Amino acid sequence: MNWNPFKRKSVGAPTVVIQHDELNGALAVLAGAFGDGMTADQTGPGFTCAEADSVARVLALTGYKPEAVTWLEGHASGDEGDDSHFLYENDEGGEGHVMNADEIASYVEELAA
């Protein structure tokens, strides 16, 4: 019998247990990619708000909050009207605006809570 100490059975799909150092390394690479301003600006608007929030949440929960903010700034640059990162509250002109850096930073804190 081939026994693998990093796998365990579960109900439904199998769960893979990853060694801590491997996961940290993979998360650092992921944060570097999504937290890069050019990547965020060029690819972020192509993600739905829910998808972008999922990426930002993983980054924020794993200690990469600045990268999560950069990612959402790039994503939100393409938001308009009914999108999650477009606000009407506290907007003097009533036309709404894309979340600014401070608003995105607060939003990331909420995602990580």
CB atoms within 10 A of CB 72: 31
Give the tens place of pLDDT for each residue, 11-20: 455 555 556 7
Please provide residue 11's backbone torsions phi and psi, each rounded to the nearest 5 degrees: -75, 125
72 occurs within a structural domain: yes
State pTM to two decimals: 0.77
12 occurs within a structural domain: no
Give the tens place of pLDDT for each residue, 21-76: 888 889 999 999 999 999 999 999 999 999 999 999 999 998 999 999 999 999 99
59 occurs within a structural domain: yes
| Domain tally, the chain | 1
Question: Percent of the chain having pLDDT more than 90?
Answer: 54
8 DSSP 8-state letter: E
Among 20, 14, 54, 16, CA closest to 34: 54
Task: Tokens 């990093």: give the residue.
Answer: 6
Q: Which structural domain range is residue 79 located in?
A: 19-112
**pLDDT on residue 39:** 96
| Helices (runs of H) and strands (runs of E) counted in the chain | 5, 4
47 occurs within a structural domain: yes
